[in-house]
Amino acid sequence: MYVQRLELVDFRSYERVEVDLEPGGSVLVGQNGVGKTNLIEALGYVATLGSHRVATDAPLVRAGAAAAVIRCIIVHDGRELLVELELVPGKANRARLGRSPVRRARDVLGALRLVLFAPEDLELVRGDPAERRRYLDDLLVARQPRYAGVRADYDRVIKQRNALLRTAYLARKTGGSRGGDLSTLDVWDAHLARHGAELLAGRLELVAALTPHVTKAYDAVAAGKGGASITYKATVPVDPPDREALEAALAAGLVESRPSEVERGVTLVGPHRDDLTLTLGDLPAKGYASHGECWSYALALRLAAYDLLRTEGIEPVLVLDDVFAELDTGRRARLAELVGGASQLLVTCAVAEDVPAVLRGARYQVAEGQVRRVE
């Protein structure tokens, strides 16, 4: 799979830009702040319907414009597929796949399989559990796009259940002893257990498949100073990890936590509260690992995702944003060895010579709102 063409209209700093890309290695070179990351952020958006840098769409639309458009042509097994997304902050995205509009933007997920590593990924190791849940869920969708629907269903249930608990909480606060109407909570518990079990089963299966790839990738990135391992940390017992058992465990967990949930006005049980524990040797990476170790761990998580997809027959596009400047010569060479076989590798950098020569296929110069092929 590779991206053959990317067109942006009013996306970030670009009023209009068109870039023709090729399979194999490409380097996007330009000074700081010229818009290199903006280009790959657009590709990441097509793959995940989210930005790796911001949580809302507003900053993605060029200042002063009302909407942004991302259009790209993806080549997969020799066939071209056009994907178009229109981002209007505050409204649902509009999307087209091929020549036809699709009902929901999430129907485009799966069209572009992409693994992106960027400096922001340090947060995968040092940041909140939400960062790691997103990592898992994006990978779940890249492996099996039907999980986009599972995740959307679960998010909807959590939103509605939280709204119900919150309203009751506020009613109790303002109305003395009366607790608000919680008569439909049992129904929402059943929905949560059902959709939550499906998401949880998917994540557990993913973590089991991913773990050896993380250990291997960390060993490779950190030159033998290995010992990286990941474990899924859930709010309910997850053994056995099959859907029926997980649904029962979630249902039991909700019964047990009902008093605290009503007390606090929020849903405390379910995969939206889970985490992925990252360990290095016997210690958790978060709070213990050095800056360099965190960085290697974050890179290893992305490389493991890439490796897993490839072993399962999916050839994702690999994007490395500003990576090589951080590495010494030995590490650059090792990373080049790991990623050299990518069907398409896009690397951004300020200095082209920082990128090992074996990865420098085509070179694009990014400057003054335009992208020009120079080699």
Ligand X SMILES: Nc1ncnc2c1ncn2[C@@H]1O[C@H](COP(=O)(O)OP(=O)(O)OP(=O)(O)O)[C@@H](O)[C@H]1O
Residues of the binding site for ATP: 30-37
Minimum Å distance from CB 31 to ligand X? 7
Specify the stretch interacting with ligand X by CB under 6 A; choose among 25-33, 87-95, 103-111, 253-261: 25-33
Q: Does 350 bind ligand X (CB under 6 A)?
A: yes
Q: Is 322 left (phi over 0), alpha (psi -120 to 50) or beta?
A: left
Instruction: Report the distance separating Cα 20 and Cα 5, nearest Å.
Output: 4
Copy the structure tokens of residue 312.
């399962």
Among 6, 17, 27, 30, binds ligand X (CB under 6 A): 30
Whether the ω angle into residue 129 lies within 30 degrees of 0, i.e. cis, is no
Least Å distance, CB 108 to ligand X, is: 22
Residue from 1, 6, 8, 62 in contact with ligand X (CB under 6 A) = 62
Identified binder of ligand X from the candidate list 26, 38, 257, 344, rule CB under 6 A: 38
- Interactions with ligand X, residue window 286-325 (CB under 6 A): 322
- Please tell me the count of residues contacting ligand X according to CB under 6 A: 16
34 lies in the site for ligand X, by CB under 6 A: yes
User: How near is the Cβ of 349 to ligand X at its closest, in Å?
Assistant: 8
User: Does 44 sit near ligand X (CB under 6 A)?
Assistant: no
Q: Is the separation of the CB atoms in 299 and 293 below 8 Å?
A: no
36 versus 332: smaller Cβ distance to ligand X? 36
Q: Find the Cα–Cα–Cα–Cα dihedral 100, 101, 103, 109, rounded to 10°.
A: 80
For the CB of residue 28, give the shortest distance to ligand X in the complex, in Å.
8
Among 4, 5, 9, 13, binds ligand X (CB under 6 A): 13
In contact, 271 and 258? CB cutoff 8 Å: no
| 37 lies in the site for ligand X, by CB under 6 A | yes
CB of 370 to ligand X, least distance (A): 13
Q: Is the distance from CB of 29 to CB of 364 less than 8 angstroms?
A: yes
63 binds ligand X (CB under 6 A): yes
Residue (155 or 354) nearer to ligand X, CB: 354
Minimum distance from residue 123 beta carbon to ligand X (Å): 16
Decide whether 33 or 281 has the Cβ nearer to ligand X: 33
Q: In this chain, which stretch among 27-35, 83-91, 251-259, 327-335 interacts with ligand X, using CB under 6 A?
A: 27-35
| Candidate list 25, 35, 44, 253; residue touching ligand X; CB under 6 A | 35
Rg of the chain over Cα atoms, rounded to whole angstroms, equals 22
Q: Is 36 in the site for ligand X (CB under 6 A)?
A: yes
Report, in Å, the least distance between residue 118 CB and ligand X: 9
- Dig out the tokens for 319 from the structure: 């994007």
Question: For residues 251 and 193, is the Cβ–Cβ distance under 8 A?
Answer: yes
- Interacting span for ligand X (CB under 6 A) from 35-43, 106-114, 189-197, 276-284: 35-43
| Minimum CB–partner distance for residue 78 and ligand X (Å) | 32
Nearer to ligand X, 12 or 360 (CB): 12
Dmax over Cα atoms in the chain, in whole Å?
73
Q: Which of these ranges, 61-69, 290-298, 323-331, 336-344, lies near ligand X under the rule CB under 6 A?
A: 61-69
- In this chain, which of 15, 16, 18, 33 binds ligand X, going by CB under 6 A? 33
Residues near ligand X, by CB under 6 A: 12-13, 30, 32-38, 59, 61-63, 322, 350
